[in-house]
Amino acid sequence: MPEGHSVHRIARQFERNFVGHRVHASSPQGRFAAGAAEIDGRRMTDARAIGKQMFLGFEGDRWLRVHLGMYGAWDFAGEILMDATIASANGRMGQTNQRGTFLDSPNPDAIYDTAGENSVTSIGAPRKARLRMAESEKQESAPASFPPEPVGQVRVRLLTDTVCADLRGPTACEVLDPAQVETVVAKLGPDPLIDPGADAESRFAAAVRKKRTAIGLLLMDQSVVAGIGNVYRAELLFRARQNPHTPGASLPEEHVRHLWQDWAKLLKVGVETGQMMTMDDLEPEAYRKAMASRADRHWVYKREGLPCRVCGTNIVLEEMGNRKLYWCPYCQA
């Protein structure tokens, strides 16, 4: 479920709370006992995300590769050092909104209010809490004991003196050597946060324009561009007023480059806010209205049968690449 922005946020949490620390690794569930033993007792040296993949580096050239897939999640507990953006995005949530995620906050302005009363004290200082990080984030009160009892099927538990991170339901979880990491990374297209330069944009443009495959499929192809998932695909195509069926090879280069730049922008905003903010160019009043409802947060995603926000034509739902594709047949003609 998580698209690229979520994985970058998780990597950031590991960077802040685990890198530089000796880590006790275990597999409470048992399915990853051998892998956990390989990294147990080692110091974490690196935490990085590329697209939807995350790599945690350990001394002795061991890397833990994790892909959350559809329903994977990391749960942090203990004295968590909050990244500023995570603290501000979650700080108020735990106290004003017991159930649901921050996305359900009744006050959409809170997103931009990083100087709010709850967030100020939390930034920088460790907070005793429980933080779930998956496609959305949810902060709760700290468990009674530390480390907490594992709940459910915990594939991997990473533990320092003060922080505990549990991984559940991942698609991929394995220990690799540097060469194997390189093999995985080599199959990935550019990620705007990893490759911010013009080279990456050119790489993307070349990959798209040499294929006759529909742009709607190419955006989801992790070897073409890393990190885009089904929500960002639909929203990026609408924002570009681009027909999803157009073959990559038929797109003017400047249009392809525009798609890359818009993805870079949405990803950056997503990492900063923890939300998929795709309607930033909406009028303030309309934006406020849209953000107030979970079902109404995007241009086209999950809006089949509803009138297009721009032209009023009903949004269409179709299958593309075994996934649901939402688009406006008029605006994206």
Binding-site ranges for DNA (CB under 7 A): 1-3, 6, 29, 31, 51-52, 67, 69-71, 73, 100, 135-136, 138, 152-153, 168-169, 171-172, 220, 222, 229-231, 276, 322-324
Closest CA to 226 of 6, 1, 53: 53
Instruction: State yes or no: is 201 an active-site residue.
Output: no
As measured in angstroms, the least distance from the Cβ of 64 to DNA is: 16
Cα–Cα distance for residue pair 4/258, rounded to 1 Å: 19
Closest CA to 131 of 172, 163, 173: 163
**Which residue in 48, 52, 157, 297 is the catalytic one?**
52
**Which residue in 187, 210, 241, 323 is the catalytic one?**
323
Query: Are the CB atoms for 159 and 39 separated by under 8 Å?
Result: no
If the CB atoms of residues 67 and 203 are measured against DNA, the closer one turns out to be 67
- Residue 229 has phi, psi (to 5 degrees) of -120, -165
Amino acid at 187: K
Residue 211 token pair: 């294929």
Query: Are the CB atoms for 78 and 144 separated by under 8 Å?
Result: no
As measured in angstroms, the least distance from the Cβ of 286 to DNA is: 21
If the CB atoms of residues 7 and 264 are measured against DNA, the closer one turns out to be 7
If the CB atoms of residues 151 and 286 are measured against DNA, the closer one turns out to be 151
Instruction: State yes or no: is 272 an active-site residue.
Output: no
If the CB atoms of residues 151 and 333 are measured against DNA, the closer one turns out to be 151
As measured in angstroms, the least distance from the Cβ of 15 to DNA is: 21
Cα–Cα distance for residue pair 58/44, rounded to 1 Å: 4
Instruction: State yes or no: is 52 an active-site residue.
Output: yes
Instruction: State yes or no: is 323 an active-site residue.
Output: yes
As measured in angstroms, the least distance from the Cβ of 171 to DNA is: 4
HSE-up (13 A, CA, CB side) for residue 186: 6
Q: Which residues are designated catalytic?
A: 2-3, 52, 323
